[in-house]
Structure 1
Amino acid sequence: MFKGMNESSIDRLHGTVWRGVAKYQVHGEEEKVIMTRKQKAESINKQAHDNTPKKAKIEFDDVHNTTNGKSSCAEFDDLSKAMSDHLSVDDMRQILEANGIDSSASSNSDLEITRKCEDLLFYGALEKCPVCNGSLEFDGRRYCCRGFYSEWCSCTFSTRDPPRKHQTTKLPDSLHDTPVAHLLKKYEEVAPAGRPHRDLGSADKPFTGMTISLMGRLSRTHHYWKTSIEKHGGKVANSIIGSTCLVASPAERERGGTSKLAEVMERGIPVVTEAWLSDTIEKQEPQPLDAYELVTHLSAVAGDKHHPGDHPIESLVSQLKLYGKRGVYKDTKLQEQGGYIFDKDGILYNCAFSLCDHARQLNHYSVMQLITVPENHLHLFFKKARAGDDLNAEERLEEFDNVDNALREFTRLFEEITGNEFEPWERDKKFSKKPLKFYPIDMDDGVEVRHGALGLRQLGIAATHCKLEPMVANFVKVLCSQEIYRYALMEMGYDSPDLPIGMVTQFHLKRCEEALLEFIEKVKSSKESGPKAEAVWTDFSQRWFTMMPSTRPFLFRDYQEIAEHAAAALEGVRDITVASHLIGDVSGSTIDDPLSETYNKLGCSISPLEKDSDDYDMIVKYLERTYEPVKVGDMVTSGIQNVIFLCVDEYGVSVENIFSVETSACPPYEDIVKLPNKVLLWCGKKHDISTFW
């Protein structure tokens, strides 16, 4: 039979044949086999035996993803089609309810009901979320939890391989006589161990084939983004040539840009925000660049280059619309008619709210006011919108003839969006946060510095009328400028024009501080790991950015981010709140010398230090030895004690002036110098650099 072949050759041939047969079996492909008469007879007998009437049985091959010889995908499609043709949405709701799965219309669309039912019948019932004990649902890419980790945070747990219950599927009696009953019965009788496994594959690498360039001070370090981008298939390059896009902070646009940014725009390379990176990673697919574009025209970048007819830039960011507890929201235009906030029994009917929830993609604010205009007309203003998306805001301005009706509607709206009653909050600060409900931002009675301080046009006039020594007047002019505070809030990401974060009460700041300290203690004592440990950080992130609303919220991942974007930001907002109360509203007439008035409120004396003095020389040397070079565009301003003004160039900083400050709150400088064991401390960063003895 094997002519011309020796015994070893025949053995190798047998091995090849058997390996080939095994290969075809592994891949589930049909292979024609030549059978003997005896084999044919046995096959016919077996076929006759198989054709005898018996109970239908469905068998799944979990390893090869086949069902009675048919792929799981094809079988799943058959089930989906049969359900679509023969089952109504109400029928599917009954199946879900019979298996203990929520099917309420309030929380599930028809598409979600269909997805849940298909998944239940074919793959089996899902276990609860291992993090919060909520319900897992398939969203088309993975299984996500729809529960709540706390009143502040929706659960963010997701997986491609969810745990399933070891129990058979139950069918309601009402479906036993339907045309599709025979099909459903098959899935009801399948043992849990015999069900197919839903293979969603490994997570895609959405940055594959992309080269991304990073620039400027981002909310997270360049090292963090470089690691994340490379982990998800992309590359990070210092050069913009050949880059897919440039990721930059919105601050770069407001600073006037750099030569690198200008070159990027000239080459037509998209400039996008960090949100493009985080959203692409979260959704595991590249997001459209144009939806995240930072600048679309080169003229928007080169802020320092204007046409001769252009008006001076009034501010770095949009104008503040709500400056405090008595502020009428700017867009109502009622302040132009003499409108003011309605006051009754010591309560000002003016509330601002915030809500941040990463899992539900929520970063919303709301404003609600009762406004009185001359002739006793009462208006209710209500606005709810996503941060930065005024075009799609829910907004209404309604006039009321009856005060009681207006008050009832105001309190009803407060309870609707917060889940709490209005008066207990306003009188006693009693409030209990509810899931997916807004949290009140406790505004103080004053004028936020972004509104009350001097604008760019007013600074020159104010300095002209100032009675202070010119160098001191120039220093106080900086303290009284809106721009320094706008810039600081913008860089921290707390620059919403709709919420006066620089005019909140000490009670609100105290609650933020307590939340921060509580989180630190919780993390220190926690023994959780994996998704449960991540949930603790996610929960705090949502709580923080709800209490301290940001235009750029994100998830904290380590102590460094907590220090830079929570603790430091809280201190920054606290300082700006102090500045708001100190400066007040000097944005009106500048004839009365607002700079001298603010200087007197400081309660200290400020005088320039002689440049040939030993102290001046010591501070300059200390700066040269300790201060790191600053990138182009970084701004350094003033502090309160011995203040150093700094000019930023491309490679570092230099001293312009040093001021000596004598404050009534501390011992005189002459007494401090005599104290032993003293050291020069360098405090603050960028916006607030001071030296303390």
Structure 2
Amino acid sequence: MLFGALGPCPVCSNGLYYYNGQYQCGGNVSEWSKCAYSTTEPVRIKKKWQIPDGTDNEYLIKWFKSQKVKKPERVLPPMSPDKSGSKATQQSRLLSSEGLDKLRFSIVGQSKEAVEDWIQKLKLAGANFHARVAKDIDCLISCGELDNENGEVRKARRLKIPIVREEYIGECIRKNRMLPFDLYKVESALESSKGGTVTVKVKGRSAVHESSGLQDTAHILEDGKNIYNTTLNIYYILQIIEEDNGSECYVFRKWGRVGSEQIGGQKLEEMSKSDAIQEFKRLFLEKTGNPWEAWERKTNFQKQPGRFYPLDIDYGVKQAPKRKDISEMKSSLAPQLLELMKMLFNVETYRSAMMEFEINMSEMPLGKLSKENIQKGFEALTEIQNLLKNTADQALAVRESLIVAASNRFFTLIPSVRPHIIRDEDDLMSKAKMLEALQDIEIASKLVGFDSDNDESLDDKYLKLHCNITPLAHDSEDYKLIERYLLNTHAPTHKDWSLELEEVFSLDRDGELTKYSRYKNNLHNKMLLWHGSRLTNFVGILSQGLRIAPPEAPVTGYMFGKGLYFADLVSKSAQYCYVDRDNPVGLMLLSEVALGDMYELKKATSMDKPPRGKHSTKGLGKTVPLESEFAKWRDDVVVPCGKPVPSSVRSSELLYNEYIVYNTAQVKMQFLLKVRFHHK
């Protein structure tokens, strides 16, 4: 009272309180996150204190009459390190402010050449190399797969020294500073991947949780459209389980912290069906702050501060416990096409992609997220992007609290083995690209049902693509032209691998030619251009065509705005196949693109579409295909198959040409290429 009433929190407008040497907020910055605002210099209300009318406290009455409007300023003692945050937070602050000259590291790996290469790079950056693990080093870096029997690894574990993946080195060198170890620890990745593939027994439209012990003899209660099953974030599983042969019901609950079996518990209670439904709804309301009907009907459900949020889980519905090997099924498809279908519909490829994206598959059975969750994930990323961009609009503490809230929301919707605060644009863009890939995985899952119980053949799956795919003869004119285009246009800076053409397929997706005809007939300047993408994206691409990033996705990372990007040098696009030495075969597209009049630029420029009168955007590169070696395809389509030469463009920021269209109807997919990468 001596120093005046505290003003509201500038982040969430809730009240502040004094604790541990500073003023902290006790409110919520949003329904997803508590407010993290704290300060030693709070804003105070510049008014006299009011006392209730009719009070008979003589001391208060006397004090009230003598108080002044201007209050003395409260001076707090400096914060000691042990009060300024958790040990992990302190370490993060310390590391983020230190250069690489402070890093003391040791390194292990099966490839001596790779180890020596990283040692030299870190030494050049100023880091201090230790040949042996000792208690005074900061971390042990694992180059490649970790050998658990290695003496240095065992010593590091004994001394509790962080063991980090080699990606840590690249990020430290790129940002020229020490980074916190948490995001790069080998142990956390190993722990989260254990049991990453969860086999569930689906009955009806859902699956009994295996921890209940009833998955073989019972099923989730269904009552009309109601399915009494929900998984709440961080985490609380709630199910009504009904006996397969009988009327007995059980309410099953399991709760805990993701990644920790030591924290949490479970409960299984037998009761009548009506009592089970009543108890299920009571618990749902208690945990979420919303009635069950609001979630089931997808109407008026509002996330409540400090409460759980249900996650959509797709159980596939038609999953069968055992399926025939697709290699044993008879097929009428051409051998080359059959091999392509095996590539496209290999479920292990999709599981590997989910693991690569660090999706927590043990938290999300079958690893299938809903379309709605992916869309909401994009919205959370866009919110973070706006906060990172508009640094002048808000105080640092306010912005930090909002970034934490949006990051919490993102990792609630998209479970990760390494949830963290998204604080820079590189991290933001990697998450956006991950969501784009997840969209295609979701499309593939819905389209062909990897776990369907009718032993669907590859021929049936092929028909579901609604895209006519025809192998080209290797001695055909089109094949020879495409092979020349591929061999000639490898960019000079892409030296880590070479490309070998294995197969070419002509494409005719249902309805695509009709949409393209308007632009084919009315726009000049048509070119056959490259586009590369992950293998897991191609079921979505072949069935739905190339798509532009959705409106809710952040615009960060797109050099010329959201559009369809193409290249005239094969290796420029091949980078986006994301193959590796273990899986060296990728797929690429050659598409006919109606470019019309191009808006030519020498550096990245954000836009929704090119200026009026322009039909596409071209980023002008320093190296281009030799024009005298260009070819024509089907009379009016240019094939820029010349060898790379220096361009006449001056002061461009782009190494190679990029072509962007902002309307999917300007593109007709013509050829699908199966390409083998030979890594050097």
Normalising by the residue count of structure 2, what TM-score does the alignment of the two structures yield? 0.57
Query: Which of 529, 533, 539 is equivalent to 1:680?
Result: 529
Distance 2:424 2:393 in 1: 16
Aligned-pair distance for 1:657? 3.0
Aligned length: 475
1:166-185 to 2 correspondences below 5 Å: none
The 1:473/1:159 distance shift into structure 2, 3 A limit, reads farther
- SS of structure 1 residue aligned to 2:254: strand
Indicate if the aligned counterparts of 2:220 and 2:242 stay in contact, CA closer than 8 A. yes
Q: 1:656/1:124 Cα in 2 relative to 1: closer, same or farther (>3 Å)?
A: farther
Is residue 404 from structure 1 mapped to residue 270 from structure 2 by the alignment? no
1:52-201 equivalences in 2 (<5 Å): 128-136=8-16, 140=20, 144-159=24-39, 193=72, 197-200=76-79
Aligned-residue offset at 1:618 = 4.4
Secondary structure at 1:570's aligned position in 2? helix
Contact conserved, 1:463 with 1:474, CA < 8 A, in 2? no
CA RMSD in angstroms, aligned pairs only: 5.2
Out of 186, 191, 195, the residue aligned to residue 294 of structure 1 is 186
The aligned runs of 1:433-448 (5 Å cut-off) are: 433-444=303-314, 446-447=316-317
Label 1:174 to 1:480 Cα distance change in 2 as closer, same or farther (>3 A): farther
Q: Any idea what SS the aligned residue of 2:251 has?
A: strand
Matches of 1:240 and 1:665 in 2, distance apart?
A: 63
SS at match of 1:436: coil
Q: Deviations over 1:536-586 (max 9, x none)?
A: 333322222223233322222244332221x22322222222222223254
What's the offset of the Cα at 1:264?
A: 5.9
In the alignment, structure 1 residue 484 sits paired with structure 2 residue 349: yes
Q: Which residue identity is paired with 1:664? A: D
8 Å contact from structure 2 (residues 229, 240) kept in 1: yes
Give the C-alpha shift of residue 601 in structure 1: 2.4
Partner of 1:392: 263
Say if 1:169 and 1:517 are closer, same or farther in 2 by CA, change over 3 A: closer
Q: Distance in 2 between matches of 1:397 and 1:235?
A: 58
8 Å CA contact 1:383, 1:396 repeated in 2 = yes
Kindly state the Cα deviation for residue 126 of structure 1 after the two structures are TM-superposed.
6.2
- Asked whether the equivalents of residues 126 and 165 of structure 1 are also in contact (C-alpha less than 8 Å), the reply is yes
Instruction: Confirm or deny: 8 A CA contact 1:315 1:483 kept in the other structure.
Output: no
What residue number does 2:294 align with?
424
Q: Does 2:342 match 1:463?
A: no
Specify which of 548, 558, 562 is matched with residue 414 of structure 2.
Answer: 548
**Do the aligned partners of residues 260 and 377 (structure 1) sit closer, same or farther apart at CA in structure 2, a change above 3 Å counting?**
closer
Residue aligning to 1:21 = none
| 1:351, distance to aligned residue in structure 2 (A) | 1.4
| Cα distance change, pair 588–174 in 1 and its aligned pair in 2 (3 A) | farther
Render the CA deviation track for 1:302-329: whole Å, top value 9, x for unaligned: xxxxxxxxxxxx9983425587952222
Work out which of the residue numbers 389, 393, 401 in structure 2 matches 1:527: 393
SS at match of 1:372: strand
How far 1:370 sits from its partner (Å)? 1.4
In the alignment, the residues of structure 2 paired with residue 380 and residue 293 of structure 1 have an alpha-carbon distance, to the nearest angstrom, of 38
CA distance in 2, matches of 1:169, 1:404: 56
Determine the C-alpha separation between the residues in 1 that align with 2:184 and 2:428: 26
Between the aligned partners of 1:670 and 1:618, the Cα distance in structure 2 is: 26
- Partner AA of 2:237 in structure 1: V
Aligned mate of 2:212, from 332, 354, 361: 332
**What is the letter of the counterpart of residue 657 of structure 1?**
E
Give yes or no for the alignment of 1:245 onto 2:109: no
Corresponding position of 1:4: none
CA distance in 1, matches of 2:311, 2:375: 12
1:691 to 586, 589, 606: 589
What is the distance in 1 between the residues matched to 2:408 and 2:485? 42
The residue type equivalent to 1:576 in the other structure is I
- Aligned counterparts of 1:669 and 1:126: Cα–Cα separation in 2: 63
1:309-388 residue pairs with structure 2 within 5 A? 317-319=196-198, 321=200, 326-337=206-217, 339-354=218-233, 364-373=234-243, 374-388=245-259
Matched residue type, 2:463 = N
Identity %: 25
Structure 2 distance, partners of 1:264, 1:594, is 50
Q: Secondary structure at the match of 2:252?
A: strand
C-alpha distance in 1, partners of 2:235/2:359? Answer: 13
Corresponding residue for residue 603 of structure 2? none
For 2:186, give the aligned amino acid: L
For structure 1, list consecutive stretches of 5 or more residues without a partner in the other structure: 1-98, 100-120, 178-187, 217-228, 278-285, 302-313, 355-363, 630-650
Can you list the C-alpha shifts for 1:217-256, whole angstroms capped at 9, x where unaligned?
Answer: xxxxxxxxxxxx9xxxx985688766531467xxx9xxx7
Residues of 2 paired with 1:570 and 1:197: CA distance? 46
Partners in 2 of 1:407 and 1:624 — Cα distance? 64
Structure number with higher strand proportion: 2
Q: 1:266 to 1:366 in 2, by over 3 A?
A: closer
Alignment of 1:259-274 (within 5 A): 265=153, 268=156, 270-272=161-163
User: 8 Å contact 1:608–1:658 — kept in the other structure?
Assistant: yes
Change (3 A) 1:680 1:322: farther
How far did 1:439 drift?
Answer: 1.3
Deviation (angstroms), 1:411: 0.4
Query: CA distance change for structure 1 residues 294 and 507 in 2, over 3 Å: closer, same or farther?
Result: closer
Asked whether 1:573 is paired with 2:467, we answer no
Secondary structure in 1 matching 2:207: coil
Structure with a larger share of its residues in helix: 1
Structure number, greater radius of gyration: 1
Task: Please give the secondary structure, in 2, of the residue aligned with 1:678.
Answer: strand
The answer as to whether partners of 2:363 and 2:415 remain within 8 angstroms in 1 is no
Residue number in structure 2 paired with 1:472? 337
Q: For the residues of structure 2 that align with 1:139 and 1:453, how far apart are their CA atoms?
A: 56
Per the TM alignment, residue 418 of structure 1 is displaced from its structure 2 partner at its CA by 0.5
Distance 1:257 1:174, change over 3 A: farther
Q: Distance in 2 between matches of 1:627 and 1:330?
A: 52
Question: Residue 453 of structure 1: CA displacement?
Answer: 11
Tell me, yes or no, if the aligned pair for 1:353 and 1:440 is still in contact at 8 Å. yes
Superposition deviation, residue 167 in structure 1 = 9.7
Matches of 1:141 and 1:482 in 2, distance apart? 55
